[in-house]
C-alpha cells in the first residue's frame, strides 16, 4: 500500500486535445438544439439582433406583445404592488419592474418548472432581486394564494399565450412544425401527456374538444380519423404522427388553398389538444372568478389572449362583474397590436388585449 506521504507521481501524458464545439450543417442551423447562439441571447446579442430584425423570434427567447398598450393602461407607478400572472420569459415583467422603483414590489408566477428558474436567473442578473421581485411556481388560477402574501394588488397582467421557448422546443411537443414527443404539458412533471390523452377520449369527445377548444370546422372528420387510427392500434406518439393523421383526414379538401387549410387545421387541433391537456379553460375561469377580490380599489387588470375561446371567456367575465358592480369600467372592445408590431413579430397577429378597473 502506498505511503500517503509519498509525493504524487508525475505523469508524462500530453494534455487532452481541445474539443471544438460540434458545428451545425449548412449556413444556418435548423434544429432547435443547434441554434446555440439564439439559445444564449445574452452572449450572442448581435446575432440575436439580426434574427429579430428579420421579424423572427430567436429560439432561446420570447418577444412580449402589446408592451406599450399594456403599460399605457396599467399606469404602473413607484410604490405599487402588482402581479405578472404568467411570467414566461419575463419580457412584460422587466418592463413593469423598470417603472416600479425601489419602493414597489412585483409578484410573478408561472406553472412551467423548466423556464421559470431561467427567467428568475435572467432577471436577477439585471438587478431585480427578492427586494423588488417575488417569483413563485404557481398556476395563475391560484391568484388567491399570491394575494394572501401580497395583499390587494394595484395591477395584474396575464399573457395567456404559450411562450416561444416552449413552442420552439421539440422536446415539449407543442408545435406541429417540429418532430418530437406529443407531450404538451406546461408542467412536464404533472398530468397526462397529449399522446395518452388522445387514447383516453372517445370519437365524440375528440370532436367536441377540437370544436370547443379551437373552433375547428373539420372537427368531425379529424376526430373520426384519429379514432380510426387508434382502433387499428396505431400509436400516435409524436407531433409528426398527429400532424399526418390530421393531414390525411383532410384529403377531401381541394383547390389552391388546400395547403393553407391543412396548416390552419393543424394549428387549431394542436391548440385544442394543448388546452385540454393543461385544463387551460378551467384555469382561466378560476382566475377570472378570483380576480375582482384580488384587486385593490381602483386596481387595474389587463389580459392578453390569443384565440377566440380565451377572448370570449375574458369578455364575458369582465362584462358580468361590471354589471355586478365589481368593476367600474371594462374595455369596450379588444385592443389589437399595431400594424408595425405585427410586421415585426408574426406571433402578434392573433393577440387581443382586454382590460378592467376595479370599483
Three-state SS sequence of 156-204: EEEECCCCHHHHHCHHHCCCCCCCCECCCCCCCCCCCCHHHHHHHCCHH
From residue 28, alpha-carbon distances to 25, 32, 175, 220, 294 in Å are 7, 11, 21, 40, 47
Tell me the pTM.
0.82
pLDDT in tens, the chain (359 residues): 444 444 434 444 444 444 444 444 444 555 544 444 445 555 555 655 555 555 555 555 568 899 999 999 999 999 999 999 999 888 999 999 999 988 899 999 999 999 999 999 999 999 999 999 999 999 999 999 999 999 999 999 999 988 877 888 899 999 999 899 999 999 999 999 999 999 999 999 999 999 999 999 999 999 999 999 999 999 999 999 999 999 999 999 998 999 999 999 999 999 999 999 999 999 999 999 999 999 999 999 999 999 889 999 999 999 999 999 999 999 999 999 999 999 888 888 999 999 999 99
Nearest of 39, 38, 100, 49 to residue 74 by alpha carbon: 100
From residue 255, alpha-carbon distances to 218, 251, 268, 282 in Å are 16, 11, 20, 38
- 216's grid cell: 375547428
Query: Degrees (nearest 5) of the Cα angle 215, 62, 137?
Result: 85
The answer for residues whose C-beta is within 8 angstroms of residue 50's C-beta and 6 or more apart is: none
pLDDT on residue 76: 97
Yes or no: say if 155 and 251 are a contact pair by the CB < 8 Å rule. Answer: no
Bridge partners (DSSP) of residue 131 are none
Phi, psi of 244 (to 5 degrees): -60, -40
As a whole number of Å, the end-to-end CA separation of the chain is 82
Q: Does the domain formed by 67-164+281-358 have CATH 3.40.50.1820?
A: no
Domain boundaries, the chain: 67-164+281-358, 187-277
pLDDT on residue 4: 41
Give 34's DSSP letter. Answer: G
Using the structure block, give the residue that is written with the C-alpha cell 396548416. Answer: 263
Query: Degrees (nearest 5) of the Cα angle 222, 204, 194?
Result: 65
Give 331's DSSP letter. Answer: -
CA 103, CA 191: separation in Å to the nearest integer? 39
pLDDT on residue 60: 52
Phi, psi of 158 (to 5 degrees): -135, 115
Amino acid at each position: 500500500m502506498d505511503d500517503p506521504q509519498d509525493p504524487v507521481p508525475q505523469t508524462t501524458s500530453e494534455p487532452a486535445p481541445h474539443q471544438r464545439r460540434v458545428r451545425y450543417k449548412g449556413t444556418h442551423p435548423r434544429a432547435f438544439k443547434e441554434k446555440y447562439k439564439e439559445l444564449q441571447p445574452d452572449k450572442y446579442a448581435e446575432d440575436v439582433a439580426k434574427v429579430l430584425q428579420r421579424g423572427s423570434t430567436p429560439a432561446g427567447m420570447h418577444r412580449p406583445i402589446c408592451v406599450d398598450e399594456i403599460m399605457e393602461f396599467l399606469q404602473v407607478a413607484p410604490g405599487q404592488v402588482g402581479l405578472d400572472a404568467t411570467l414566461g420569459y419575463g419580457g412584460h415583467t422587466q418592463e413593469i419592474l423598470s417603472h416600479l422603483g425601489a419602493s414597489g414590489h412585483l409578484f410573478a408566477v408561472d406553472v412551467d418548472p423548466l423556464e421559470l428558474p431561467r427567467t428568475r436567473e435572467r432577471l436577477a442578473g439585471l438587478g431585480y432581486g427578492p427586494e423588488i421581485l417575488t417569483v413563485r411556481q404557481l398556476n395563475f388560477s391560484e391568484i388567491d394564494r399570491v394575494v394572501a402574501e401580497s395583499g390587494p394588488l394595484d395591477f395584474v397582467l396575464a399573457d395567456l399565450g404559450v411562450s416561444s421557448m416552449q413552442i420552439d422546443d421539440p422536446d415539449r411537443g407543442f408545435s406541429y412544425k417540429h418532430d418530437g414527443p406529443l407531450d404538451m404539458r406546461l408542467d412536464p412533471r404533472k398530468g397526462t401527456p397529449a399522446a395518452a390523452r388522445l387514447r383516453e377520449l372517445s370519437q365524440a369527445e375528440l370532436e367536441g374538444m377540437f370544436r370547443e377548444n379551437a373552433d375547428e370546422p373539420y372537427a368531425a372528420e379529424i376526430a373520426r380519423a384519429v379514432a380510426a387510427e387508434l382502433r387499428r392500434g396505431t400509436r400516435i406518439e409524436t407531433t409528426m404522427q398527429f400532424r399526418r393523421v390530421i393531414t390525411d383526414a383532410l384529403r377531401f379538401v381541394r383547390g389552391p388553398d388546400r395547403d393553407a387549410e391543412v396548416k390552419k387545421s393543424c394549428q387549431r387541433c394542436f391548440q385544442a389538444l394543448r388546452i385540454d391537456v393543461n385544463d387551460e379553460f378551467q384555469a382561466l375561469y378560476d382566475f377570472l372568478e378570483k380576480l375582482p377580490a384580488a384587486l385593490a380599489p381602483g386596481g387595474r387588470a389587463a389580459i392578453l389572449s390569443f384565440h377566440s375561446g380565451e377572448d370570449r371567456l375574458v369578455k364575458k367575465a369582465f362584462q358580468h362583474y361590471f354589471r355586478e358592480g365589481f368593476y367600474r369600467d371594462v374595455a369596450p372592445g379588444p385592443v389589437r397590436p399595431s400594424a408595425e408590431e405585427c410586421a415585426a413579430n408574426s406571433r402578434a397577429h392573433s393577440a387581443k388585449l382586454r382590460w378592467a378597473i376595479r370599483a
